Amino acid sequence: MAEKILIVDDDLDTLKLVGLILQRQGYEIIAANTGSQGLAKAASDRPDLILLDVMMPDMEGFEVTRRLRASPDLGHIPIIMFTAKTMVDDKVTGFEAGADDYMTKPTHPAELVSRVKALLARSGASAAARPSAAPTERAHIVGVLGAKGGLGASTLALNLGTASAQAGEDTVLCDLRPGQGTLSLQLGFTQSPAVGLLLSKSVGEITTRAIETQITTHARSGLRLLMSSPLPSEASLASAAAQAEQLVRQTATMCKVLVLDLGAGFTDINKKVLPLCDRFVLIVEPVRLTLTMGKAILSSLETIGLNPARVDVAMVNRVRSSLQVAWQQAEQLLGHNIATVITSAPELAYQAAEACVPMTIMQPDSLLTDQVNKLAEIVVQGKRGGSALTT
Ligand SMILES: Nc1ncnc2c1ncn2[C@@H]1O[C@H](COP(=O)(O)OP(=O)(O)OP(=O)(O)O)[C@@H](O)[C@H]1O
Ligand SMILES: [Mg+2]
């Protein structure tokens, strides 16, 4: 099947000329002569690549690019900006808006064709590289988010992923905390920059092939890992939200269950990635301040297009009992029911860290393992609720 290319340009001569050159190469061409028509055709025709003019009367190409990148369904489409402008500043604006490549008019047909071919190959959209998985075959995605830092999000994500892998599901655990990744340290791997390397690429370069080379398998659990390094120099990648979204979408075509360690709070990455989660676990503790932060997160979910029904609250209970808020009061403060409690198990946490294994493997008969398995039944194996990726 021929790849589809959408050309958006208000100049009809350019549309015809560029369309003809690319048609001769066997591509299917769709044309739009305004920015808003370009957006509409991107949504209705789902092109494999977009060639976009910058100067258009109704909407500049930069704005079209920003809107495309903000869309959960269209954000991954490779974009080549195509313009008469030659100023370096415009290139910078184009790349900042999310363009993958930039060409100035007039351009040589051979250069146009080779740039289009190269970008399609990198994006994995060419017929040979296109993954065969239909949206319904994508992984079940489970996000794990702390109401604040340090509550045990990484530990729970690791143990939920392990429960899923041990139940025989092909599971990938992705640590989406560039610059603050702890998974590699927890499991005794050398500091792995895998996620950082992927997030440094352009959206079109984050293909299943590129991701596969960064996956490490943890032998004891059978879990496949995409790790972030704890190197502070990678922290700036926390704003690479379009790349993180592409990483999640592509990885979801490579496994059956995808568990995401999202850390805490509505980071740029989390705002993009949370709507892709079929379910997500919000971690709180029985402390008034944390519960208030949890409530704020729950009441903001709809602003990022997420149905609060997809959330299960887990209360990790590491607070001295004399200082705890009671369960019922905690649910009141939160305005949401609490699905499960994970008990404090500091010795088990220590032993597991020393042995570089998840707590559930260290002590399969412990209360904590039971609690994690129960939560995994709800959020991973239960697969309740609809898939965000298929709606
Ligand atoms: N149920 C538990 N009982 C005892 N200790 C635990 C439990 N869960 C996690 N811990 C310990 O708490 C510490 C913090 O856990 P973890 O790194 O998972 O938190 P986090 O929410 O991911 O933190 P950050 O916000 O830094 O990403 C770790 O030392 C971990 O071993
Ligand atoms: Mg963490």
CATH number at residue 175: 3.40.50.300
Number of H helices, E strands in the chain: 16, 13
Determine the atom of ligand 1 nearest the C-alpha atom of 345. 3
pLDDT band at 111 (very low <50, low <70, confident <90, very high): confident
- Residue 50 in contact with ligand 1 by CB distance below 6 A: no
Statement to judge: residues 85 and 177 lie in one domain: no
- Residue 349 in contact with ligand 1 by CB distance below 6 A: yes
Which pLDDT value is given to residue 172?
97
Q: What is the number of structural domains in the chain?
A: 2
pLDDT band at 215 (very low <50, low <70, confident <90, very high): very high
Pick from 123, 155, 174: which residue ends a domain? Answer: 123
Statement to judge: residues 149 and 279 lie in one domain: yes
Statement to judge: residues 155 and 105 lie in one domain: no
Q: CA-CA-CA-CA torsion for 359, 361, 365, 368, nearest 10 degrees?
A: 30
Residue 286 to residue 87: CA distance in whole angstroms: 56
Statement to judge: residues 99 and 146 lie in one domain: no
Proximal ligand: closest to the CA of 156: 1
Which pLDDT value is given to residue 391?
28
Residue 291 to residue 306: CA distance in whole angstroms: 20
Does residue 106 have a cis bond before it (omega within 30 degrees)? Answer: yes
How many angstroms does the Cα of residue 137 sit away from the middle of ligand 1?
Answer: 33
Mean pLDDT of the chain: 88
With respect to residue 129, please indicate whether it lies within any of the assigned structural domains: no
Which pLDDT value is given to residue 171?
95
Dmax over CA atoms of the chain, in Å, equals 76
With respect to residue 26, please indicate whether it lies within any of the assigned structural domains: yes
The C-alpha angle 140, 187, 152, rounded to 5 degrees, equals: 65
Tokens of 233: 């120099």
Pick from 65, 100, 123: which residue ends a domain? Answer: 123
Reference 10, options 115, 79, 105; nearest CA is 105
With respect to residue 390, please indicate whether it lies within any of the assigned structural domains: no
Which pLDDT value is given to residue 130?
45
- Residue 176 in contact with ligand 1 by CB distance below 6 A: no
- Residue 155 in contact with ligand 1 by CB distance below 6 A: yes
**pLDDT exceeds 80 at position 1:** no
- Residue 354 in contact with ligand 1 by CB distance below 6 A: no
Determine the atom of ligand 1 nearest the C-alpha atom of 150. 23
Statement to judge: residues 114 and 195 lie in one domain: no
How much is the average pLDDT of 366-391? 72
- Residue 47 in contact with ligand 1 by CB distance below 6 A: no
Statement to judge: residues 223 and 366 lie in one domain: yes
Determine the atom of ligand 1 nearest the C-alpha atom of 149. 25
Which pLDDT value is given to residue 156?
97
Beta bridge partners of 120: none
Please write the tens of the pLDDT for every residue from 247-291. Answer: 999 999 999 999 999 999 889 999 999 999 999 999 999 999 999
Helix axes 367-376, 153-166, angle to 10 degrees: 70
Helix axes 327-334, 288-300, angle to 10 degrees: 40
Proximal ligand: closest to the CA of 346: 1
- Residue 157 in contact with ligand 1 by CB distance below 6 A: no
Please write the tens of the pLDDT for every residue from 115-131. Answer: 899 888 877 655 544 44
Statement to judge: residues 140 and 215 lie in one domain: yes
Residue 116 to residue 110: CA distance in whole angstroms: 10
Range of the domain at 263: 135-381
**pLDDT exceeds 70 at position 135:** no
Which pLDDT value is given to residue 108?
83
Give the chain's radius of gyration (CA, Å): 23
How many angstroms does the Cα of residue 226 sit away from the middle of ligand 2?
Answer: 14
DSSP classification of residue 377: I
Lowest-confidence region among 9-13, 307-311, 373-377: 307-311
With respect to residue 391, please indicate whether it lies within any of the assigned structural domains: no
- Residue 386 in contact with ligand 1 by CB distance below 6 A: no
* Residue to mutate (ligand 1; options 144, 154, 195; most atoms within 8 A of CB): 154
Amino acid at 388: A
Pick from 93, 123, 153: which residue ends a domain? Answer: 123
- Residue 150 in contact with ligand 1 by CB distance below 6 A: yes
Q: Is the pTM of this model over 0.75?
A: no
- Residue 295 in contact with ligand 1 by CB distance below 6 A: no
With respect to residue 175, please indicate whether it lies within any of the assigned structural domains: yes
Determine the atom of ligand 1 nearest the C-alpha atom of 263. 27
Whole-number percent of the chain with pLDDT over 90: 63
Statement to judge: residues 86 and 28 lie in one domain: yes
Amino acid at 78: P
Run of H or E residues at 93 = helix 88-97
Contact 30, 7 (CB under 8 A): yes
Statement to judge: residues 220 and 284 lie in one domain: yes
pLDDT band at 86 (very low <50, low <70, confident <90, very high): low
Residue 315 CB coordination number (10 Å) = 26
With respect to residue 386, please indicate whether it lies within any of the assigned structural domains: no
